[in-house]
Amino acid sequence: MGIHDLPHALAVHLFFTLSSVVIGLVLGVTLGILLSRKPKLSNVVLPILSVFNTVPGIVFIGLLLLIWGMEAITVLVALGIYATFPILKNTYAGLISVNPQYIEAAKGCGMSQTQQLFRVELPLALPTIIGGLRMSTVYTVSWAVLASMIGQGGLGEFIYAGISANDNGLILLGAIPAAVLAFVLGSLVDLLQTYTVPKGLRKRGSTK
């Protein structure tokens, strides 16, 4: 294993990261919307999810190995679920923090509940949702290192090989690109916020 293997490992790591974040985005926003409509249910579900989120990634992947074995789907399911938590929590927080006066104004304009959600609530909650997307993206870059532990490649191969061989060079060959990848993807999410969120709302998202 050497630097010539780095491009392929980086591509695999990027694939697992982006795929998992997309899964997390879809699940997180959907569940966040549903829980914002059921406050009593959210008081039960969110604490349970918070406890579940403390389970170490390697333990969770180990459990999924019993179902799917050493396959890419095992990594995608595990990382997708972990990527869901920050987006779910921020989506829920953003929606319930929307000022009721805006919702009342939307009702006064004759909007249906679906129109209120997509034209008023989600746009106002967008800064907070994107904040969750950024956390999810950066975290998933580091979680994707676990893919190499079940033979699915990625930058973790360099890190674990370096640890086993006591080779700091190999460790850095995996760790530095992972750090750069996290920075680049995080910056792209920030750029997304710049182009999709009105300037007056960005501060709201950054404080969540």
Mean pLDDT lowest for which of 38-42, 55-59, 122-126, 198-202?
Answer: 198-202
In the block, tokens 């079940």 appear at 150
- Tally the domains of the chain: 1
Domain range for 133 is 3-206
Chain centre to alpha carbon of residue 189: 11
Higher per-residue pLDDT: 1 or 194: 194
Q: The domain spanning residue 82 has which CATH number? A: 1.10.3720.10
pTM higher than 0.75 for the full model?
Answer: yes
Q: pLDDT tens digits for 28-47?
A: 999 999 998 887 888 888 88
8-state DSSP, 70 = S
Q: SS3 for 46?
A: helix
- Judged against a pLDDT cut of 50, whether residue 150 lies above it is answered with yes
Chain centre to alpha carbon of residue 40: 25
Dist CA 108 CA 1 (whole Å)? 65
